[in-house]
């Protein structure tokens, strides 16, 4: 936010809190589907949860992108920018880092 000149305002604070909830949601989605549904192969469980999670994230990102483009309010621009940046970071964190940790855990436990 500092690099883009976005101040920590009420709007950007709300966006950060929303991102925390969104990040927890995608992590729970991934973990639940990978650890609970054991009838399918691991890669299939990851693929299905990734499809759902990325659909949610891309939809939110698209809505915020449209808001950023059509908004004439500085506050809404800041909120949309914070959410878009956070969504990108969350997608990388959840679908690269957390998937790798879960795969490592499951392979280690089920040896």
Each residue's pLDDT expressed in tens, for the chain with a length of 111 residues: 888 788 888 888 999 999 999 999 999 999 999 988 788 888 999 999 999 999 999 999 999 999 999 999 989 999 999 999 999 999 999 999 999 999 999 888 876
Percent of the chain having pLDDT more than 90? 71
Q: Is residue 5 part of a domain?
A: no
Q: What is the pLDDT of residues 43-68, one digit of tens each?
A: 999 999 999 999 999 999 999 999 99
Q: Is residue 4 part of a domain?
A: no
Token pair of 44 as six digits: 């299939």
Structural domain of residue 26, as residue ranges? 10-109
| pTM: predicted TM-score of the whole model, two decimal places | 0.85
Q: What is the DSSP string of the chain?
A: -TTTT----HHHHHHHHHHHHHHHHHHHHHHHHHHH--SS-HHHHHHHHHHHHHHHHHHHHHHHHHHHHH---HHHHHHHHHHHHHHHHHHHIIIIIIHHHHHHHHHHHT-
Name the domain count of the chain.
Answer: 1
Q: Is residue 39 part of a domain?
A: yes
Q: Is residue 103 part of a domain?
A: yes
Q: Is residue 52 part of a domain?
A: yes
Q: Is residue 58 part of a domain?
A: yes
Q: Is residue 37 part of a domain?
A: yes
């Amino acid at each position: 936010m500092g690099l883009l000149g976005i101040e920590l305002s009420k709007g950007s604070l709300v966006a950060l809190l929303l991102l925390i909830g969104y990040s927890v949601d995608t992590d729970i989605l991934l973990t639940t589907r990978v650890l609970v549904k054991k009838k399918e192969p691991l890669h299939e469980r990851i693929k299905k949860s990734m499809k759902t999670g990325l659909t949610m994230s891309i939809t939110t990102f698209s809505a915020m992108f449209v808001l950023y483009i059509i908004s004439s309010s500085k506050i809404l621009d800041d909120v949309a920018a914070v959410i878009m940046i956070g969504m990108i970071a969350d997608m990388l964190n959840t679908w690269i880092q957390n998937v790798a940790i879960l795969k490592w855990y499951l392979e280690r436990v089920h040896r």
